[in-house]
Amino acid sequence: MKLKLKENPIEWLKFTAVIGTMAGLLWTLGWWKQMHGLSLWYGWVPGIVAALLCAIFPSWFRGFYRTGTTAFFHLGQFMGTILLTLFFIFIMTPMGFVLKLIGNDLLELKLDPTASSYWKEPRKTGGHKKMF
């Protein structure tokens, strides 16, 4: 998958606002769980100021957008690969072994020597006008 960066100042503003909001929310969570005794203003003001500056001077935040989007894209690619690998190893493979042991054939791949044909009649539907 290829990264597609947008050269639109509105996208830069949206990215800056989301990062500022997330920083504020994480700061609020830390304050709520009493991980620090600092005021909530310390977490929210930088994000709000950054979003306002980005609205006024969007070109200042182009590099921030490009760097952040690239970093999060690669992080997502890495995490997706790791999570899908773990899902396959720890869920799909054992499930396949268990189904094989109990004799389940979900795909109906076993050959029946007495069958004259493996053709299955299609389900009757209402036609192409009633598909949805």
pTM higher than the cut 0.85: no
> Within 13 Å and on the Cβ side, how many CA atoms surround 6?
8
Number of domains in the chain: 1
Q: Do residues 47 and 24 make contact, with C-beta atoms less than 8 angstroms apart?
A: yes
**Is 26 within a domain?**
yes
**Is 117 within a domain?**
no
| pLDDT tens digits along 8-34 | 899 999 999 999 999 999 999 988 888
**Is 24 within a domain?**
yes
**Is 122 within a domain?**
no
d(C-alpha 67, C-alpha 52), whole Å = 20
Instruction: State the pLDDT at residue 125.
Output: 75
**Is 45 within a domain?**
yes
Instruction: State the pLDDT at residue 94.
Output: 97
**Is 1 within a domain?**
no
Question: CA end-to-end span of the chain, whole Å?
Answer: 31
Range of the structural domain that residue 16 is part of: 9-78
| pLDDT tens digits along 42-68 | 888 988 898 999 999 999 999 999 999
**Is 103 within a domain?**
no
Higher pLDDT pick, 82 / 118: 82
**Is 121 within a domain?**
no
Instruction: State the pLDDT at residue 42.
Output: 83
Among 51-55, 71-75, 91-95, the minimum mean pLDDT is found in 51-55
62-79 mean pLDDT: 95
Helix axis angle for 9-32 and 41-56, nearest 10°, is: 180
